[in-house]
Amino acid sequence: TDRYAVFGHPIAHSKSPLIHAAFARQTGQDMTYEAILAPLDGFAASVAAFAAAGGRGANVTVPFKEQAYQLADRLTPRAQRAGAVNTLKFEAGGTLGDNTDGAGLVADLTRNLKRTLAGKRILLLGAGGAARGAIEPLLDQNPAALVVANRTVSRAEELAALFGRGVVASGFDGLDTPFDLVVNATAASLAGELPPLSPALFTADTLAYDMMYGRDTPFLDFARRHGAATADGLGMLVEQAAEAFLLWRGMRPDTAPVIASLRAA
Ligand code: ATR
């Protein structure tokens, strides 16, 4: 039996053990997946102990993704550009760090929500780790425009400079033309807050996507009231897990039944 785990602080409410157990059942993989609460000052030691005890891989969540990036011996290109790691694979030659969050977002948008991103105008709200991880996978879809808007404009400018090729930095002020996709990657939803957005961003053709899941957010409510279609981040959560499972086990599980059962619960 191969062992996997998710490390975070807090971790009790993580849905990852449930998701990976469902993937393992579906694909007949002989594996376990547990949630591990790492001490705030003991992430690296906690991961090292798990690997030494035979762990094969791990997911990493808040607040350890940057530390996981530092800890990895090798990084995939997408983890390199995200500046953060959410998936570790313990290999003979050392620890591989990957980041499947952005690929999970794009998979949810394109596979589950059936949106085409090529030629579309995309607005990404936020300039923290969650936003940064989404930029490269979104750019790979060849949108007509990718605007990164943040409360602190200088952070959006730093991301635009980092990625170059067509990322436009902005504040929230003066953003008042419609977008095909608006992704909320700010932490505002966690606090039950709404970034100061213009209603003019949204039309009946807009998809408003909140990376948060589990409850309706002021952002989704605002977008819906201005005519947009909406989606929360539950699909992204399951899709990033499927990408991690693929890295570890060499097969991508069918995510639809897992998303459906989490929705029903
Ligand atoms: P994460 O790794 O989750 O992205 P982070 O690096 O702390 O976390 O970034 C949080 C993001 O949410 C930032 O873009 C932050 O804006 P600032 O850079 O201006 O701080 C944004 N954010 C947090 N609370 C917000 C709020 N109430 N309204 C708008 N943006 C908010």
Note whether 144 and 84 are same-domain residues: no
**61 Cβ inside 6 Å of ligand 1:** no
Report whether pLDDT(165) > 80: no
**What is the extent of the structural domain holding 192?**
102-234
Note whether 74 and 171 are same-domain residues: no
Note whether 193 and 79 are same-domain residues: no
203 located within any domain: yes
120 given a catalytic annotation: no
242 located within any domain: no
How does pLDDT run across 43-72, given as a tens digit for each residue?
Answer: 999 999 999 999 999 999 999 999 999 999
Report whether pLDDT(166) > 90: no
**192 Cβ inside 6 Å of ligand 1:** no
Note whether 132 and 229 are same-domain residues: yes
Note whether 127 and 169 are same-domain residues: yes
Residue 86 CB contacts under 8 Å (≥ 6 apart), including other chains: 59, 60, 61, 65, 68, 98, 99, 100, 101, 133, 240, 244
Average pLDDT of span 247-257 = 98
Report CA torsion sign: 232, 234, 235, 241. Answer: positive
Note whether 109 and 145 are same-domain residues: yes
Note whether 81 and 117 are same-domain residues: no
What average pLDDT is seen over the chain?
97
Q: Is the ipTM of this complex over 0.95?
A: yes
Report which residue type is found at 51: A
Q: How far is the CA of 29 from the centre of ligand 1 (A)?
A: 38
**187 Cβ inside 6 Å of ligand 1:** yes
For residue 257, the surrounding DSSP H or E stretch is: helix 256-264
For residue 209, the surrounding DSSP H or E stretch is: strand 207-210
How many distinct structural domains can be found in the chain? 2
Q: Which of 65, 89, 114, 120 is catalytic?
A: 65
Out of 68, 83, 99, a domain closes at: 99
Note whether 111 and 220 are same-domain residues: yes
243 located within any domain: no
How does pLDDT run across 119-140, given as a tens digit for each residue?
Answer: 999 999 999 999 999 999 999 9
Note whether 87 and 140 are same-domain residues: no
Query: Residue 250: exposed, middle, or buried by beta-carbon count in 10 A (0-12, 13-18, 19+)?
Result: exposed
> What gap in Å lies between CA 212 and CA 265, rounded to an integer?
17
Note whether 107 and 94 are same-domain residues: no
| pLDDT band for position 94 (cuts 50, 70, 90) | very high
Mutation choice for ligand 1 from 151, 170, 237, CB with most ligand atoms inside 8 A: 151
Least confident of 104-108, 189-193, 223-227: 189-193
How does pLDDT run across 205-236, given as a tens digit for each residue?
Answer: 999 999 999 889 999 999 999 999 999 999 99
pLDDT at position 232: 97
Note whether 86 and 200 are same-domain residues: no
pTM exceeds 0.95, yes or no: yes
Report whether pLDDT(6) > 80: yes
Across the beta sheet with 87-91, what order do the strands follow? 31-37, 2-8, 55-60, 87-91, 94-98, 74-75
Q: Which residues are documented as binding site for NADP(+)? A: 126-130, 150-155, 211, 233
Domain CATH number, residue 10: 3.40.50.10860
201 located within any domain: yes
Note whether 7 and 81 are same-domain residues: yes
pLDDT at position 111: 97
248 located within any domain: no
